[in-house]
Amino acid sequence: MSKLMNRMQFVPWLKARWRLVLVTAGLMGLAALAGQLVGNYFYVKQVNMLSSKLEESQRKSNSLTARLNEQLKQNDYLTAELAVEKSAGQLMQQELKAEQQKLFDTRKELAFYQRIISPELQADSLIVDSFSISPGASATKYRFNLVLIQQDKQRNFAKGTVDLKLQGFAGDKRASLDLLQLAGFSKSDKAFSFKYFQIIEGEFSLPEGFKPEKVDVALKVAAARSVKSAKVDKSFFWPSEQSGEILE
Task: Answer with the residue of higher pLDDT: 225 or 4.
Answer: 225
Task: Answer with the residue of higher pLDDT: 3 or 73.
Answer: 73
Report which listed range, 140-149, 226-235, 237-246, is most confident.
Answer: 140-149
Q: Which CATH superfamily is domain 118-237 in?
A: G protein-activated inward rectifier potassium channel 1 (2.60.40.1400)
Bridge partners for 214 per DSSP? 167, 237
* 3-class SS of residue 63: helix
pLDDT band of residue 12 (cuts 50, 70, 90) is: low
- Side chain identity at residue 100, one-letter code: Q
> Could you state, in order of their start, the residue ranges of all structural domains in the chain?
33-96, 118-237
Lowest-confidence range among 63-67, 112-116, 129-133?
Answer: 112-116
Return the half-sphere exposure (C-beta side, CA atoms, 13 A cut-off) of residue 91: 6
Residue 224 neighbours by CB under 8 Å, 6+ apart: 159
Closest CA to 226 of 178, 144, 159: 159
Alpha-carbon distance of 56 to 54, in angstroms, equals 5
For 136-167, write each residue's pLDDT tens digit: 888 889 999 999 888 765 667 788 899 999 99
Closest CA to 169 of 203, 207, 217, 218: 207
pLDDT band of residue 121 (cuts 50, 70, 90) is: very low
pLDDT over 90 at 100, yes or no: no
pLDDT band of residue 190 (cuts 50, 70, 90) is: very high
Task: Answer with the residue of higher pLDDT: 36 or 189.
Answer: 189
What average pLDDT does this structure show over 214-219?
Answer: 93
Residue 42 neighbours by CB under 8 Å, 6+ apart: none
Per the prediction, the chain carries an average pLDDT of 75
Number of residues that make up the chain: 248
Closest CA to 156 of 104, 223, 92, 90: 223
* 3-class SS of residue 211: strand
Going from the C-alpha of 160 to that of each of 96, 116, 218, 220, 224, the distances in angstroms are: 43, 18, 10, 5, 11
Alpha-carbon distance of 132 to 146, in angstroms, equals 7
Q: Tell me the Cα Rg of the chain.
A: 54
Alpha-carbon distance of 134 to 164, in angstroms, equals 16
Which helix (DSSP H) or strand (DSSP E) does residue 81 occupy? helix 18-117
Q: pTM of the full predicted structure?
A: 0.50
